[in-house]
Amino acid sequence: MKFFGTSLAVVFAAVFGASQAQAAEGYWNEAGGSVWMSGYGECIHTGYWTPEMAIVGCDGKMAEQPAAAPVAEPAPAPAPVAVSTANATVNFGFDRADLDQNATAAIDTLVRQAKAAGGIKAVRLTGHADRIGTEEYNLDLSLRRASSVSDYLVQRAGVDPQAIEIAGKGESQPLVGCEGIRGAAAIKCLAPNRRVDIDMDVF
CATH number at residue 135: 3.30.1330.60
From the CB of residue 27, how many other CB atoms can be counted at a distance below 10 Å? 20
Residue pLDDT, tens place only, 68-85? 677 777 777 665 555 688
For residue 89, what pLDDT is reported? Answer: 96
For residues 85 and 122, what is the distance between their CA atoms, to the nearest angstrom? 10
pTM for the full model?
Answer: 0.61
Secondary structure string (H, E, C) spanning the chain: CCECCECHHHHHHHHHHHHCCCCCCCECECCCCCECECCCCCECECCCCCHHHCCCCCCCCCCCCCCCCCCCCCCCCCCCCCCEEEEEEEECCCCCCCCCHHHHHHHHHHHHHHHHCCCEEEEEEEECCCCCCCHHHHHHHHHHHHHHHHHHHHHHHCCCHHHEEEEECCCCCCCCCCCCCCHHHHHHHCHHHCEEEEEEEEC
Residues 103 and 174 in one domain: yes
Residue pLDDT, tens place only, 51-71? 777 777 777 666 656 666 777
Edge-first strand listing for the sheet containing 84-91? 84-91, 195-202, 120-127, 164-168
Which residues on neighbouring strands pair with residue 197, listed in sequence order?
89, 126
Residue 198 has pLDDT above 80, yes or no: yes
Residues 107 and 172 in one domain: yes
Residues 108 and 193 in one domain: yes
What residue numbers bound the domain in which 9 lies?
1-66
Residue pLDDT, tens place only, 101-127? 999 999 999 999 998 988 899 999 999
CA atoms within 13 A on the CB side of 171: 13
Residues 37 and 96 in one domain: no
The answer to the question of residue 120 being in a domain is yes
Residues 198 and 136 in one domain: yes
